[in-house]
Structure formats: C-alpha cells, structure tokens
C-alpha cells in the first residue's frame, strides 16, 4: 500500500509542479514548424524523412555527460531529449492526413525524480505544437509501410549505442526502423539527400536565429574583454578559462559551444589545445578560442593577448600580419563570393608576410605555420552545416580566423619561437557587405593594450591560499 501511495504522490508532484523562471527567448514552436515545412518543400515526391535523437554518452561509470540534442532534431522540432524519432512525410498520410509524427520518451515519475522532467506526449503537443505524438514504445507497432515510399531520407545512423531490450530507447527505435524499412546497412544516397536538404536550410539564418546568434556572440565578446582586463603573468590558463565560463553562465549561456582552448606561449601553437592546465601564463601571449552556446546556438571567438598587457616587437609583428590577413578577407565578405576564396585570400597575405619577416622563403611553406582553413559555417553547430563548394549568400554566418603558429625548434630565427596568434570573428554576410558580430571585442593590438590597462571586476576577488 505504501508503494502505491508513493507512486501516486510522485505522479501528483510531476503533474502539478512545472518548472518556473525559465528563459523567455527560446525559439518558438512556430519557428520549428516553419523549419519542418521548409524541409518538406525540399523533399522529393513520395518520400519520408526519418530523424533520430542523439544517444546519451557515458561520462564515468553510471554517470552520463550532460545531454546535447541532435541539432537537426532540435531545429525541426524543438525537442531536446534522447530516445526520440521524427517522421516527416512529403504528402499527407492515412485517413487523418497527418504529415508528421513524433515519438518521444514516456513520462515516468520515478525517473523524472532522479534525472529531470520529461515533456512526454502531452508536452510535445502543447509546447512543441505537434498533433500526432506517441511514446517511443509505440513505434514498433506503428502502422507504416516504408517500402511504399520512393525515397527514405535519413542522416547517418547513430552507432556505438547501448544495446537494450527497452522498447522505447534509441537502440530499439533504430532496430525497429531498420526492420520496417528493410535496411541492413546505411544507404549513402539517403544520407546525402538528408545532408543536402539540411545544408541548404541551416546555412541561411532566419531572423529568429539571428537574434540568438547575436546574443551568444555578444556575451562571448564580453567574456573575452573581461579576461583582457583581468589577465596577468601569474594567472593560470584554467583561471582565464573559468572567467569565460562565469561570464557565459551569468548571461544565461547553457554551456560552451566546444571545449575551450586557452593556451599560453607554446600551448597557443597547438591548434586544439585543451588541457588549459599551465599554472602561470608568464610574460607570454595567451591565445583564447572560447565561445558560448546560448539556447543551442554557438559563438566562436578567438583573441590573442599579451599576459603583461604589452606586445613585444616579435609578437606584434606576427599579430599584425594575422590582423591584416583578416582585414583582407573581410573585403570580400559579401554575397556572391566563392567560399573557397576566403581561405585563398588569407593564405596569400600570410605567405607574403612571412616571407617579408624572413620566416619562410617559399610561399608554399606558409602552410607549415598556417595549417588550417580560414572559415567555417556557424550556427547550431560550431562547425555548422553548409555547402563549402558554393558562394556566400545573405544571412550566412561564417568565421574568419587566420592564424600563425611557430612552435619551438621551427626552422626560423628562434626569436619567433612559441608565438601563436589566431584572431577569429563571426561574420554575418549581407548582399554588398558584412557585419562583424564579434566587433565588440577589440582586435587591433593598440586597442587590446588599452583595454588591458582597465580594471576588471575579478581583480578584487580574494581567495584564501590552499
């Protein structure tokens, strides 16, 4: 009897108590519905699209990483939980004439007490705007003949997921789909079609998305600026990383859009340095590639600053060359420019500059010190979807991020060793020009030195020694 009472008490708690004080600027259900309609318009005749949620990932033993939704699932539905599948039909189906079906995790009072609230079918209806919603366990018995469609469109099928007999988890959903659709192995044509459709949609940002992109980039700039004011030779890389994280959370960011790169001196010459564990920055350059993720949308901003507030002549020379390469790329940031031209323009400037500085003699050797591309799409993913073989279009957002990295023992004068510089900004393309969304964080070396003289809120924080 006590067990039954506890069960019904839990049900009552989770039916009555909804979460309060939530942000009010999430994307609306109308936005997601519009994205489904746009996706459907690009589907071929007599086709169905199948979109699965991402699997959960183990952090340690029986603890999972914080769950991150499949950006395509979120884009099309607003649903942010695991163990879900969306069906989109080109044409109305059945006597009900439905064009979409969403299968979600079932409400479970006990599990929700331990791991958080679930939308369930009712929440997917009222909050996400779906009219045809089922629990995941119902997918296996759902009457659908996939073989009647000329095209089945789906993304890469998730792998390395836990095998389970539960009827409503991702593994079971995938196995049921493969059986229903008669799929033994992934069909590349189906994946390519899904990718082409999502590329064409997500590479162009809607007005609603631009609001969130401006927000996430702005608060990332605030964080970079605060570190510029607070940094000093005795600061650790991890402490600088922590300032970014605090500022992001203060302004409502859920997390960082990628593992932060905060590297001093030689560490700044490692492109995806992630340890951030040097206990002192010393009188070196500090390269900070850190961006927030706000309501699913990613910023990607990099600034390189002198820990003591003043560039040396060698640091300044390399920094200015990277800055000039970025400025030259900005000149062609507008609708109609081939995307590959951004990379080519930056490479030409850096190659010529390195030759003038005596660091290389052959332009081809520039790739030794500038080994990565200049630009990538930005949005729901930090390396967002888009067609890199195409041209720039209005309302695309791409990074512009030239860099030079000269590790110790490089084949040049050792005065250049351990200088790593990257400047990265988030650029909104317009018809005849561009907008630098991250312009709020200074790029010119003079402006960085001036900001470094200002006092930071963090300078007055006192912590006991341990």
pLDDT per residue over 145-171, tens digit each?
A: 999 999 999 999 887 788 877 878 999
Residue 410, pLDDT score = 98
Residue 55, pLDDT score = 93
Is the confidence at residue 197, as pLDDT, over 80?
yes
Is the confidence at residue 255, as pLDDT, over 60?
yes
Rounded alpha-carbon distances, angstroms, from residue 39 to 43, 87, 194, 196: 7, 12, 9, 11
* 207-460 matches 24-202 in CATH topology: no
| Alpha carbon distance 40, 197 (integer Å) | 9
Residues 42-63: tens digit of each pLDDT: 999 999 999 999 999 999 998 9
Is the confidence at residue 6, as pLDDT, over 90?
no
The catalytic residue positions are 62, 272, 289, 300, 372, 376, 383, 401, 405, 422, 424
Residues 350-367: tens digit of each pLDDT: 999 999 999 999 999 999
Residue 5: band (very low, low, confident or very high) from pLDDT cuts 50, 70, 90: very low
Percent of the chain with pLDDT over 90: 90
Please indicate whether residue 288 or residue 160 has the higher confidence score (pLDDT): 288
Mean pLDDT, the chain, as a whole number? 94
What is the domain partition of the chain in residue ranges? 24-202, 207-460
Residue 13, pLDDT score = 46
Angle, CA 463 vertex, CA 461 and CA 466 arms, to 5° = 160
CATH code linked to domain 24-202: 3.40.350.10
Is the confidence at residue 215, as pLDDT, over 90?
yes
Residue 4, pLDDT score = 45
Residue 1, pLDDT score = 47
| Alpha carbon distance 297, 93 (integer Å) | 33
Is the confidence at residue 288, as pLDDT, over 50?
yes
CATH code linked to domain 207-460: 3.90.230.10
Quick one: average pLDDT of 425-450?
A: 98
Edge-to-edge strand list for the sheet holding 301-306 = 261-264, 285-290, 301-306
Is the confidence at residue 15, as pLDDT, over 60?
no
Residue 7: band (very low, low, confident or very high) from pLDDT cuts 50, 70, 90: very low
Three-state secondary structure along the chain?
CHHHHHHHHHHHHHHHCCCCCCCCCCCCHHHHHHHHHHHHHHCCCCEEEEEECCCCCEEECCEECCCCCCHHHHHHHCCCCCCCEEEEEEEEECCCCEEEEEEECCCCHHHHHHHCCCCHHHHHHHCCCCCCEEEHHHCCCCCCCHHHCCEEEECCCCCCCCCCCCCCCHHHHHHHHHHHHCCCCCCHHHHHHHHHHHHHHHCCCCHHHHHHHHHHHHHHHHHHHHHHHHCCCCCCHHHHHHHHHHHHHHCCCCEECCCCEEEEHHHHHCCCCCCCCCCCCCCCEEEEEECEEECCEECCEEEEEECCCCCCHHHHHHHHHHHHHHHHHHCCCCCCCEHHHHHHHHHHHHHHHHHHCCCCCCHHHHHHHCCCCCCCECCCCCCCCCCCCCECCCCCEEEECCEEEECCCCCCCHHHCCEEEECEEEEEECCCCEEECCCCCCCCHHHHHHHHCCCCHHHHCCCCCC
Residue 69: band (very low, low, confident or very high) from pLDDT cuts 50, 70, 90: very high
Is the confidence at residue 396, as pLDDT, over 50?
yes
Is the confidence at residue 449, as pLDDT, over 80?
yes
| Alpha carbon distance 398, 429 (integer Å) | 8
Quick one: average pLDDT of 123-144?
A: 97
Is the confidence at residue 312, as pLDDT, over 80?
yes
Is the confidence at residue 321, as pLDDT, over 50?
yes
């Amino acid at each position: 009897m006590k067990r039954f009472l506890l069960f019904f008490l839990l049900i009552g708690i989770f039916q009555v108590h909804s979460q309060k004080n939530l942000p009010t600027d999430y994307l609306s259900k109308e936005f997601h519905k519009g994205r489904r309609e746009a996706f459907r318009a690009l589907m071929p005749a007599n086709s169905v699209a199948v979109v699965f949620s991402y699997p959960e990932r183990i952090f340690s033993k029986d603890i999972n990483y914080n769950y991150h939704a499949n950006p395509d699932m979120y884009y099309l539905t607003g649903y942010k939980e695991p163990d879900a599948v969306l069906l989109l039909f080109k044409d109305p189906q059945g006597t009900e004439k439905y064009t979409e079906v969403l299968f979600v995790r079932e409400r479970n009072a006990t599990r929700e007490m331990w791991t958080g609230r679930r939308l369930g079918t009712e929440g997917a209806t009222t909050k996400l705007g779906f009219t045809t919603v089922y629990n995941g366990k119902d997918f296996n018995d759902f009457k659908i003949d996939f073989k009647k469609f000329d095209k089945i469109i789906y993304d890469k099928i998730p792998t390395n997921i836990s095998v389970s007999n539960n009827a409503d988890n991702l593994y079971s959903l995938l196995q049921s789909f493969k059986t229903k659709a008669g799929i033994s192995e992934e069909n590349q044509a189906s994946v390519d079609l899904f990718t082409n459709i999502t590329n064409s949609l997500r590479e162009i940002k809607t007005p609603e998305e631009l609001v969130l992109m401006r927000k996430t980039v702005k608060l990332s700039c605030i964080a970079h600026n605060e570190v510029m004011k607070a940094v000093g030779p005795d600061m650790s890389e991890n402490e600088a990383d922590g300032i970014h994280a605090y500022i992001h959370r203060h302004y409502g960011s859920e997390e960082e859009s990628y593992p932060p790169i905060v590297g001093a001196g030689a560490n700044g010459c490692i492109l995806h340095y992630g340890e951030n564990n040097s206990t002192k920055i010393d009188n070196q350059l500090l390269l900070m590639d850190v961006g927030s993720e706000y309501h699913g949308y990613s910023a990607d901003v990099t600034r390189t600053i002198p820990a003591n507030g003043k560039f040396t002549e060698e640091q300044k020379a390399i920094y200015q060359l990277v800055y000039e390469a970025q400025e030259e790329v900005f000149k062609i940031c507008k609708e109609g420019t081939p995307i590959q031209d951004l990379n080519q323009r930056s490479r030409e400037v850096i190659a010529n500059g390195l030759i003038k500085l005596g660091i290389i003699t052959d332009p081809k050797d520039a790739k030794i010190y500038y080994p990565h591309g200049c630009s990538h799409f930005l949005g729901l993913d930090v390396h967002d979807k888009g067609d890199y073989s195409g041209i720039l279009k209005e309302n695309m957002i791409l990074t512009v991020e030239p860099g030079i990295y000269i590790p110790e023992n490089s084949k040049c004068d050792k005065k250049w060793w351990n200088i790593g510089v990257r400047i990265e900004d988030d650029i909104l393309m317009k018809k005849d020009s561009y907008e630098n969304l991250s312009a709020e964080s200074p790029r010119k070396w003079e402006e960085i030195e001036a900001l470094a003289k200002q006092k930071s809120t963090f300078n007055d924080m006192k912590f006991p020694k341990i």
